[in-house]
Amino acid sequence: MNPELSLILGGVRSGKSGFAEKLVRELDQPTLYLATGVPSDEEMEQRIRRHRESRPSHWDTLEEPVDLAGCLRGALASTRPPAVVLVDSLDVWVSNLLLKHEDESGEALEERAMASLSQLLQVWRNSQTALFLVSGEVGLSLVPPNPLGRRFQDLLGLVNQKMADAADRVYLVVSGIPIEIKGEIKGSNPGIEIP
């Protein structure tokens, strides 16, 4: 397995998760789906359930809202380490960090997030695992009118920049259409099927 890092960006309901899952399915390798979502209300529970149902049943799933590096480290140390890991999503992970550490200054939270991502990258680099990261793209939207929204947007923008810099491939998905913005597209039809 080629231990590449791919970052898939897109807006809400853009098809980014479906595209990431399509890329992973095509590899046909033992896969770990690392979900960062925490069911906080009924709508979120339904969204998580839909995502679970859309994944192949032979994929392993772990749910970890904050400690991505620790979760990946544990999975790689298991008796059946995955060849592919799909993390969905970094934007929810950033939201979880903000909620868990809401009393920290912006600078302290930024340092925490960057250190966590550095740990995740280090664990990945010491493996032979292909890593796919899904994240929301906030650079195309308005500046939020409230402080928490601005903290989220600022932090996620930095997270996406760090991971895009480390990635071998970066895709932007718009209305279900993927555009590769870093790397080379392989295959004739990189798009996802629309139900």
Residue located via tokens 């080629």: 2
pLDDT for 58 equals 86
pLDDT for 194 equals 45
**For 80-108, what is each residue's pLDDT tens digit?**
999 999 999 999 999 999 999 999 998 99
- Domains of the chain in start order, with CATH, are 5-182 (3.40.50.300)
* Contact (Cβ atoms closer than 8 angstroms) between residue 175 and residue 13: no
**For 114-129, what is each residue's pLDDT tens digit?**
999 999 999 999 999 9
Residue located via tokens 């479906």: 18
**Can 51 be counted among the known catalytic residues?**
yes
pLDDT for 187 equals 46
pLDDT confidence bin for 195, thresholds 50/70/90: very low
**For 165-192, what is each residue's pLDDT tens digit?**
999 999 999 999 999 999 975 544 455 4
2 pLDDT more than 80? no
**For 28-52, what is each residue's pLDDT tens digit?**
999 999 999 888 889 888 877 887 8
Show the DSSP H helices in the chain as ranges: 16-27, 42-54, 68-76, 90-100, 106-125, 147-166
Looking at residue 183, the DSSP 8-state letter turns out to be S
The model's pTM: 0.90
pLDDT for 188 equals 41
Burial 24-34 (b: 16+ CB within 10 A, else e): beeeeeebbbb
Helix axes 147-166, 106-125, angle to 10 degrees: 30
Max Cα separation, the chain?
49
| SS3 category, 40 | coil
From the candidates 5, 35, 51, 69, give the one annotated as an active-site residue: 51
pLDDT for 189 equals 47
